[in-house]
Structures are given as C-alpha cells and as structure tokens.
Chains A and B, each alone.
Chain A
Amino acid sequence: MSAIIIEGLAKRFGTLAALAGFDLTVPRGAIFGFLGPNGAGKTTTLRIMAGLAHATAGRVVIEGVEVGRGQRPPIGYLPDTPSFYGWMTAREFLRYIADLHGLERPPIDAMLERVGLADAARKRIGGFSRGMKQRLGLAQALLPQPRVLLLDEPVSALDPAGRKAMLDIMSELRGELTVFFSTHILGDAERICDEVGILDRGRLVLQARRDDLLARYARPIFEIDAAPSDTPRLSALAGQLRALPWVDRVNLEGARLRLTVNDVDAARREVLPMLAGLSVSRFEMLGATLEDIFLGLTNSAGVPTGTEVAL
C-alpha cells in the first residue's frame, strides 16, 4: 500500500519549469529520502504536497486523499526554516496547534520530552536557537499524529550535534508513520532512509530501495590495512595478486593495499587465506555511497568527497 502517490507532477514559474512532470510512489511506513542538488525542485514538491503551492499539472495523493481537493490529508509538515510566533512559549504553540486539530488531551509534555525541549517548555520561542526551533517544528508536525510526515531539509542548517539528535528522532519514527524528507546531505539520507528518490532539474532520475541501490552500484574494491612492519610482505602479496585472473588492479600505498577485482566471489574466497601470517588491522569490501551514485546520476562534478557533501 502506498502512502504517497505523485503522478505527472509539474510546476512552472513563468517560463521556468521547476518540476517537469514526474511520478513517484512511497510505500507506507518507509523513511523516504528525497535527494537533489539545490534548485532541483525538492522544496517546490514538498510545498505542493503540504498544500502551500498549486501544481501546474499532475496530482499528489497522500493516504488516499488528493491534495488541494478540499479534504485535508493526514500530514505533518516541517518547512526548511520554521518560523514561529516569537511571543509564544513552546508549550503555548503546541497547545495552539492541538486546538486547531481539536485534540482534547494532546500529549504536549510527552512531545516536548521526545524532541528534547522539556526544559524549554515555558520559554519564549523568540529566544530559541535554530536547533531548538527545528525540534519544536518537528514536535508541531508530529503532535496531531499524522500518518505522513513531510520534512523539508530538516537537518541541513544544524550543527553536528543538532543534526544527530534530529536524525535519531527521525529514525525512532520508523514503523510509526511514513517519513518523506528532502535533503542534500547524502550521508544523512544514507544513514536513515529505507528508500530514496533523486530529483535533478525537476525530473526524478532514480527511485529505489537504499540497500538495492547500494548493492546495484557496489564497487568491487577491497582494502587491506596491515601493520607498518608488514609492508615488505604486503608488497610481495601485491605481486602475487597481480598475477591472478580475477584481479584487475592492485595499488599499494605504505601499509594499505587496494584491490580492484572482476570477480567478487572469487576475491572473497581467496584473498582472506592469502593474508595468513600478516598483522591485518582492516579488511573491507568498499561499498558504493549514495554520494557516488548521486554524483553519477546528476552529473555533478568537482565535488569534494567525504561522508557528507553540500551540493
């Protein structure tokens, strides 16, 4: 069963096509990462899903309710830079949201506890830091117990500690509801998503389960780190490996050996026994990262590598 169905979604701003008409389906209960470089159309898509903007063509159906057709879909929405009424306290704001939804006994304290704002419940939001506002934004989106949570760049502007806290909370939601979040920080998406979609210049260039994607694009590379004193023996091993038919390439840098193979199964079977007698500190098959896949699909060049890349 799909929580979100997007069909032929297009949006034009004058002559500019922000969304070129794409289809997307998000299964119920998934944590879905909506990836794309700046200007790809992620925020426009989320604004249409939240009912804040109108599509030029196509439609969005969330939990069986078509957006913009009168009935309100069961969503919670967090914009990229949530802006509150600074004169309210955190508790007052959540009370206001609960009253709009007609909740008689809203779990305000539990929600503030969940997002780590219990101590700030009676403080004016005007004095909150960016991270606190983001967490309160998540609380207001979760309070009415939506079935689909839409988050626009929920962690992009946070410091590492704030980002970790936010991602932990999002991870805890797995299985409770469907989470659809946009990001350009690929490491974060890789960490918590079940499924990803990559948007580029208004077009969906890929949608897949994260694990399938990483497996499909896995690179047949093994890395072996040994003790520095073993470097001569590692060099001899490199010579032996070069002679094997399933080995394409061998690089030796100090005490690190990098092996590119054409038969992963053969490599898995034969490399380990060859390491007997060496003081190996690491033996790892390198997987593809979302970053590699993303850069390949969106043709982004000149981007520094790392666990997270701001595009």
Chain B
Amino acid sequence: MRIFGVQLRKELRELWRTRKLIVVLAVLVGFGLMSPILAKITPDLLEQFSEGQMEGIVITIPEPTERDAIDQFLKNISQFGLLLALLMSFGVIVGERERGQLALVFPHPLPREVFVLAKFAALAILFVVGMLLSALGAYLYTVLLFDAPSLGGFLALTWLMIVWLLCLVALSLLASALGRSMVAAGGIAFVLIIAVLLASLFTPLAPGQLLDWGRALAVGADAPARWDALIVTLGLSALAVSANCLILRRQEIG
C-alpha cells in the first residue's frame, strides 16, 4: 500500500507537470459548459442559417428544453470523452517501455501490478474529477438556461458515464501493455473500443447501454434499469486491469 501511494503520487504529479491534467479538465469542463449553451442557441443558429436561403419553406424548430441540454451533454461526452480516454491511456505503459524508463524503475521494489494499478488509479481520478466538474458546469448552465432537471437523475447519468469512460480507459491501458510499439498499442486500443461500441448494437449487456440508461434517468423517461450492463462494465474493467497486471508481470523489459 505504501508503494502504491508513492507510485500514485508520481503518476498524479506527472499528469500535472506534463499538463495532461489541465488539457483533460479543460476539454471535459469546456464541453460540460458548452452543452446547454449549444442546446439553447442551436434553434437560433439554424434560423439565421436558413434565412433567405430556403424561401417558401417554413421550418418549425421546437423550443429547446433541458432534455436537449442533457442530450447535448451526453453526445459531447460520449464522443470527446471517448477520444480523451483513448488518447490519455493507450501510450502510457508502452511509451515508458519504449523510452527505457521501465528498465530503470522495475529493478527497484516496484511490483508491476502496483505500477498498473497506480496508472489506472491516476487516470480514474483524473476522469472522475473532470467528469464531476463537467457535470457541475453542465447542470448549472442547464438550470440557468432551462428548467432544472432532476438532480438525482443527472447525477446518475454522470456516474454511469464515468463508469463507461473508465471501462474504455481500462481497455486502452490493456492495449498499452499488449502493444510492442505506440502504433501497435493505439491500434489494439482502437479495435477494443470499437468492439465495445459495436457490442451495444447486439446485446443489452454492453457497456454502451449505460449511456441510454443514464439518459433515461436524467430526463425522466421510461427505460428498463440496466444493472446487468453495469455489472458487465465493471467486470470488464476489472478483467482488463487484472489482465494488464498479469501481462506486464510476465513481460520482458528492455
């Protein structure tokens, strides 16, 4: 536990010093704040855009509501959050291995599973904090611009998005241990994430179902609870991290 603390401190400090922390927080918070604003101004933008261009055609755009703000938030995070999860994770282990840093630190008393767990924990902290700040921004602007959505539902959506994002982080991190080069790791991470996204089309147990469930909770729509998908997502994340530990423990470094 002491070594985990040392390693986690190092990882968090690295995120700060290399400005990755700022980038992730800025992107997530930025999209959190922008989502309700975009939902609010989209009808005006469309109206201005269509003025004088489509004479004789009348487009009726319904007045946006907090539902649109939530949908916009969900859409932005599911796209840019996914991209961030991929970019922040796929290179971290393979990068240190390629640069030779692992050959310097592994002969010290740093168990490889502790190394993996600290990497995942640091990224998890980063994304949890980023998502909570993002959700706070999105909620406040939604309340300012629309009617207040259910706080409980919005929080549930936020946490389900976090679980979904952390599953993608765990899979990308696994790819980082599997790949022999940055390019290979990026390719494996991309394939794993595409596989997870496609799984939502075929099974209600897929991690992607959490987003639909969260949306339903946030907007107060009728939808079945997807506890099974939540368990599968948590299990998949745990499996990815465990496999990562096992792979790195057996891997030759240098």
Q: Residues of A with Cβ closer than 8 Å to B?
A: 43, 47, 50-54, 72, 75-77, 79, 81-85, 87-88, 96-97, 99-102, 137, 140, 144
Q: Are A79 and B104 in contact (CB under 8 A)?
A: yes
CA distance A84 to B254 in the complex (A): 14
Most buried by B among A43, A51, A99, A101: A99
CA distance A187 to B200 in the complex (A): 66
Q: Which residues of B contact A79 (CB under 8 A)?
A: 100, 103-104, 254
Q: Are B101 and A72 in contact (CB under 8 A)?
A: no
Instruction: Tell me, rounded to whole Å, the shortest Cβ–Cβ distance linking A143 to chain B.
Output: 9
Q: Are B104 and A100 in contact (CB under 8 A)?
A: no
The range of chain B's interface size is: 20 to 34
Q: Are A83 and B100 in contact (CB under 8 A)?
A: yes
A contact face: mostly helix, strand, loop, or mixed: loop
Q: Are B107 and A77 in contact (CB under 8 A)?
A: yes
B contact face: mostly helix, strand, loop, or mixed: helix
Q: Are B6 and A140 in contact (CB under 8 A)?
A: no
Neighbour of B101 across the interface among A77, A83, A100, CB < 8 A: A83
Neighbour of A47 across the interface among B10, B109, B110, B254, CB < 8 A: B254
Q: Which residues of B contact A101 (CB under 8 A)?
A: 108-109
Most buried by A among B6, B7, B108, B252: B108
CA distance A99 to B10 in the complex (A): 10
Q: Which residues of A contact B252 (CB under 8 A)?
A: 47, 52-54
Q: Beyond A50-B103, A100-B109, A137-B104: 15 further Cβ-contacts under 8 Å?
A: A43-B254, A47-B254, A50-B106, A52-B106, A52-B253, A79-B104, A79-B254, A81-B100, A82-B104, A83-B99, A84-B104, A97-B105, A100-B6, A100-B105, A144-B108
CA distance A84 to B99 in the complex (A): 9
Closest to A11 in B: B252
Q: Which residues of A contact B110 (CB under 8 A)?
A: 100
A99 with B6, Cβ < 8 A, contacts A53-B253, A82-B104, A85-B14 known = yes
CA distance A100 to B5 in the complex (A): 9
Q: Are B6 and A96 in contact (CB under 8 A)?
A: yes
Q: Which residues of B contact A140 (CB under 8 A)?
A: 104
Neighbour of B100 across the interface among A82, A88, A144, CB < 8 A: A82
Most buried by B among A54, A77, A83, A97: A83
> 17 A-B Cβ contacts within 8 A?
A47-B103, A47-B254, A50-B106, A52-B253, A79-B254, A82-B104, A83-B99, A83-B101, A83-B104, A87-B14, A87-B17, A96-B10, A100-B110, A101-B108, A101-B109, A102-B109, A137-B104
A97 with B108, Cβ < 8 A, contacts A79-B254, A85-B14, A87-B18 known = yes
Closest to B7 in A: A100
Whether a CB of chain A sits under 8 angstroms from the CB of B22 is no
CA distance A140 to B253 in the complex (A): 18
Neighbour of A53 across the interface among B2, B104, B254, CB < 8 A: B254
Q: Are B101 and A84 in contact (CB under 8 A)?
A: yes
Q: Are B107 and A52 in contact (CB under 8 A)?
A: yes
Q: Are B104 and A51 in contact (CB under 8 A)?
A: no
Q: Which residues of A contact B253 (CB under 8 A)?
A: 47, 52-53
Closest to B10 in A: A96
CA distance A101 to B7 in the complex (A): 12
Q: Which residues of A contact B105 (CB under 8 A)?
A: 97, 100
Q: Which residues of A contact B6 (CB under 8 A)?
A: 96, 99-100
A85 with B101, Cβ < 8 A, contacts A53-B254, A99-B6, A102-B2 known = yes
Instruction: Tell me, rounded to whole Å, the shortest Cβ–Cβ distance linking A147 to chain B.
Output: 14
Q: Which residues of B contact A75 (CB under 8 A)?
A: 107
CA distance A102 to B2 in the complex (A): 8
Whether a CB of chain A sits under 8 angstroms from the CB of B26 is no
Instruction: Tell me, rounded to whole Å, the shortest Cβ–Cβ distance linking A62 to chain B.
Output: 11
Q: Which residues of A contact B103 (CB under 8 A)?
A: 47, 50, 52, 79, 83
Q: Which residues of B contact A85 (CB under 8 A)?
A: 10, 14, 101
CB contact list, B1-19 vs A, under 8 A: 2-3, 6-7, 10, 14, 17-18
Q: Which residues of B contact A137 (CB under 8 A)?
A: 104
CA distance A235 to B61 in the complex (A): 114
Instruction: Tell me, rounded to whole Å, the shortest Cβ–Cβ distance linking B249 to chain A.
Output: 11
Kindly list the 10 A-B residue pairs having the minimum CB-CB distance in the complex, ordered from nearest: A83-B100, A77-B107, A87-B17, A99-B6, A52-B253, A53-B252, A50-B107, A79-B103, A83-B99, A100-B108
Q: Which residues of A contact B104 (CB under 8 A)?
A: 79, 82-84, 137, 140
Instruction: Tell me, rounded to whole Å, the shortest Cβ–Cβ distance linking A181 to chain B.
Output: 15
CB contact list, B85-135 vs A, under 8 A: 99-101, 103-110
Instruction: Tell me, rounded to whole Å, the shortest Cβ–Cβ distance linking A78 to chain B.
Output: 8
Instruction: Tell me, rounded to whole Å, the shortest Cβ–Cβ distance linking A86 to chain B.
Output: 9
